[in-house]
Structure formats: structure tokens, C-alpha cells
């Protein structure tokens, strides 16, 4: 059957059948997540339209973020597949209500990434991660969610843009689905998504340049110098303020995303939530052939310490991530970081160290 006729539900059933044994619990949970994403997509469309006519976009964005969280929780808590959920920003895991059956999975999710984009009608996204609960757990506690990203059973994101997209991995490749609004179903549109090994495109918030560590400044300096610099290639920079949109761009045409460690507050190692954002997106990128790191450690190998832990994130095309990892290693060894070619043939944008 041509892939364009494959619905999300059909794909999940067939994918799980190919495993050692089918898993109706996981299939039902993923279908609940799919349903929730359609409800959030509709809410985002309404919220975006309303915000364009209202000056209070910030308050509208906060309300929409809360609504998206309530939709995810309310759609997924009753089916009997879960023993707990964690929504980004929650101080404690969400307990499955009394009287609802329990299951052996846990769901961690970011209800809406980058709600600041709402009032300018730019893409937003939902990210989710599915974990197995430890044996015997029927009501998940904080400690039960503290699993490294390698333990994820499945991960995905929904992107709400000109069309609604749902991208998922079950640990055997990455697949993208587009919402056909006429029939109300996600249809397979991107089978076996892959990340190009190398790229000439990267996304980073340049307004934070003065806070970056020298390895990141070195990388950006070299790429900004273009064909006349040490890389010998022209690079393009992007920044949409949405990690979901950036990851989708990377899956479609390659690239690099950086939200690196900075020096503003040394007690905070990074700014991306590990459990609800970094881990699921790292799993997706790695399953598509890319790489994901903090700059010093593979993201999926990190042992979480708290449910609110945030980390630096560098992910995308493998060669570029590996280059940044090498730069961090050299810096940590005490090797000097030099920017030998001045930016724009005048003077360096960054101070040498």
C-alpha cells in the first residue's frame, strides 16, 4: 500500500506487530497522544487568530500553554496505559485519578514549546516522551521519571504550523505524519526521515553571544567567516525561537541547533528541560542518523537528577555536533582557543581567550 495512504493508527499497529509481540497498551497510548495533538492544534489555531487582534498576547500564550497541558493530561489519563504523567514546568508528577485503571507506562511532555511565537503566528510544538515504569509501580513518583534518555520507549513531537505534523520514533527510525483536516487523520508523509551528516546551516540565538563559552564562540566565528575562513564554506544562520521547528527543519534538510551552556548563571547548566524536551528530541535526532550532546556528554546518556533539570543542547548533523564536542574537549584540556581570521576582515566579533 502506498505510504501516503497509511494513517498514524495503522502505522503504529503494523510497527508494533513487527516486534517480538504486539503491545496494545502502547498502541492505545500513542493514539491518545495523537488525539491530544489534534485538539491542541485546533486550540492553537483559535488562539493564534484571537491573539492577532488582541494586545495581551503574553497572557493569551500563558492560557494556551495551560490549556494544552490540560488537554494532554485529560486525554491520556483515563485509558489504563499510564501510572503517571509529567508536564513541563510541573513541580510534581501528575497522579492518575482514583478509579482509573493503571498501566505500565509513564508520559512526560512539554505541552507547548515557544508560546512567545503565538502572537506573531509562528510555529509552536508539543514534545512527548514515553517511559516504562519500574516494576511494581502503580502510582509514579518523581524518582520513577529519573531515567536516562536511552530508556525511552518512544518519543515524538507535534508541530503546529501551516499544517499540523506529528513526528515519532519507536526506536527503529523516524516517521512524519501530516494532518489531513478533511478526514481528521494523520497520514504518513515522511517515511524514514534522516539527518544529513554535514550542513552549512545552523540555528543559535546570537543575542547571547557574549555569554557563550569559548568553544561555541569559536564555532560560530569560524562559520560566520564563510568561504574565506578556516571552514572554507558559506554558512547560513537561522533562529525561530522554537526548538521543535528547528528540529523539524534539521530532519527535512539538515542543520544544527544550539542552545549552549552560558556564563550568566553558573549554577544553571542549561535552559532546555531534559525530561520533557531534550531527551525526546535527542532520541528522534539520533534515530534519524544525527547526534545530540550537551557539548560534553551525549544527551541520552545523562542521568537526570530532578524532574525540572535543564541542560545545554547541541543537536543535528553528526559531523557538526562532533566538531563542537571536539572543541569543548580541547577547551577543557586547557588548549588555547584562537580566532585567527577577523570577522568581516576588520576585527573579531568575539574576544579571544
Q: What is the pTM of this model?
A: 0.91
pLDDT digits (tens, 9 = 90+) for 20-66: 667 999 999 999 999 999 999 999 988 754 444 444 445 666 788 89
92/165 same-domain check: yes
Q: How many domains is the chain partitioned into structurally?
A: 2
Contact call for residues 247 and 257 (beta carbons, < 8 A): yes
Read off the pLDDT band of 193 (50, 70, 90): very high
pLDDT of 4 reads 52
CB atoms within 10 A of CB 58: 13
Residue 231: predicted pLDDT: 92
Do 240 and 279 contact (CB within 8 A), yes or no?
no
Would 169 be classed as within a structural domain?
yes
The residue assigned the cell 557574549 is 210
SS3 for 269-334 is CCCEEHHHHHHHHHHHHHHCCCEEECCCCEHHHCCCCCCCCEECEEEECHHHHHHHHHHHHHHHCC
**Could you tell me the pLDDT band of residue 267, with boundaries at 50, 70 and 90?**
confident
Per cent of the chain over pLDDT 70 is 88
Structural domain harbouring 281: 201-345
Q: What angle do CA 167, 170, 175 make, to 5 degrees?
A: 30
In a domain, 353, yes or no: no
Q: Is 141 exposed, middle or buried (0-12, 13-18, 19+ CB in 10 A)?
A: middle
Which of 167, 190, 213 is the last residue in one of the domains?
Answer: 190
* Residue 58 pLDDT: 57
At 273 the pLDDT is: 97
Summarize pLDDT for 70-105 with one digit per residue, the tens: 999 999 999 999 999 999 989 999 999 999 999 999
Establish if 352 belongs to a structural domain: no
Beta strands in the chain (DSSP E): 82-87, 105-113, 124-132, 152-160, 164-169, 174-180, 185-190, 201-203, 236-238, 256-259, 272-273, 291-293, 310-311, 313-316
Question: Average pLDDT over the chain, rounded to whole?
Answer: 90
By mean pLDDT, which of 73-82, 111-120, 142-151 is the weakest? 111-120
Rounded-to-integer distance, Cα 165 and Cα 190, Å: 10
Q: Do 253 and 315 lie in a common domain?
A: yes
Kind of pairing between the strands at 272-273 and 291-293: unpaired
For residue 228, pLDDT over 80 is answered with: yes
CATH number, position 125? 3.30.540.10
Clarify whether residues 157 and 104 are in a common domain: yes
CA dist 322 and 326 (Å) reads: 6
Same domain, 168 and 227: no
Q: How far apart are CA 47 and CA 63, in angstroms?
A: 9
Residue 195 lies in a domain: no
CATH code at position 245 = 3.40.190.80
The answer to whether 41 and 164 are in contact (CB under 8 A) is yes
Q: Are residues 177 and 225 in the same domain?
A: no
What grid cell was written down for 134? 519500574
147 and 169 share a domain? yes
Strand order in the sheet with 185-190: 82-87, 105-113, 124-132, 152-160, 164-169, 174-180, 185-190
Regarding whether 322 and 180 lie in a shared domain, the answer is: no
Amino acid at each position: 500500500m502506498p505510504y501516503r495512504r497509511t494513517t498514524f493508527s495503522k502505522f503504529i499497529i503494523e510497527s508494533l506487530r513487527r516486534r517480538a509481540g504486539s503491545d496494545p497498551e502502547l498502541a492505545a497510548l500513542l493514539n491518545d497522544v495523537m488525539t491530544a495533538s489534534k485538539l491542541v492544534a485546533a486550540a492553537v489555531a483559535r488562539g493564534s487568530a484571537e491573539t492577532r487582534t488582541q494586545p495581551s498576547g503574553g497572557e493569551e500564550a500563558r492560557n494556551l500553554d495551560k490549556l494544552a497541558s490540560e488537554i494532554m493530561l485529560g486525554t491520556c489519563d483515563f485509558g489504563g496505559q499510564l501510572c503517571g504523567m509529567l508536564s513541563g514546568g510541573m513541580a510534581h508528577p501528575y497522579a492518575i485519578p482514583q478509579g482509573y485503571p493503571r498501566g505500565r507506562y509513564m508520559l512526560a511532555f512539554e505541552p507547548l514549546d515557544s508560546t512567545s511565537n503565538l502572537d506573531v503566528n509562528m510555529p509552536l510544538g508539543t514534545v512527548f516522551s514515553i517511559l516504562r515504569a519500574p516494576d511494581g509501580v502503580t502510582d509514579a513518583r518523581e524518582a520513577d521519571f529519573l531515567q536516562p534518555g536511552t530508556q525511552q520507549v518512544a518519543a515524538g513531537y507535534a508541530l503546529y504550523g501551516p499544517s499540523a505534523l506529528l513526528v515519532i520514533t519507536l526506536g527503529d527510525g523516524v516517521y512524519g505524519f501530516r494532518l489531513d483536516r478533511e478526514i481528521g487523520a494523520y497520514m504518513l508523509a515522511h517515511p524514514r526521515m534522516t539527518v544529513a551528516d554535514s550542513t552549512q546551516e545552523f540555528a543559535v540565538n546570537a543575542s547571547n553571544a557574549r555569554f557563550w563559552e569559548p568553544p561555541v564562540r569559536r564555532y560560530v566565528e569560524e562559520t560566520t567567516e564563510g568561504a574565506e575562513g578556516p571552514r572554507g564554506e558559506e554558512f547560513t544562520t537561522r533562529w525561530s525561537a522554537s526548538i521543535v521547528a528547528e528540529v523539524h527543519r534539521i530532519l527535512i534538510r539538515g542543520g544544527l541547533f544550539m542552545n549552549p551552556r552560558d556564563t550568566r548563571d553558573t549554577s544553571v547548566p542549561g535552559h532546555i528541560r531534559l525530561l520533557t524536551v531534550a531527551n525526546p528530541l535527542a532520541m528522534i535526532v539520533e534515530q534519524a542518523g544525527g547526534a545530540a550532546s550537551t557539548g560534553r556528554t551525549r544527551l541520552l546518556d545523562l542521568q537526570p537528577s530532578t524532574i525540572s533539570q535543564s541542560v545545554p543542547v547541541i543537536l543535528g548533523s553528526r559531523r557538526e555536533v562532533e566538531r563542537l564536542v571536539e572543541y569543548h574537549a580541547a577547551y577543557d584540556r586547557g588548549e588555547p582557543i584562537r580566532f585567527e581570521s577577523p570577522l568581516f576582515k576588520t576585527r573579531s566579533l568575539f574576544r579571544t581567550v
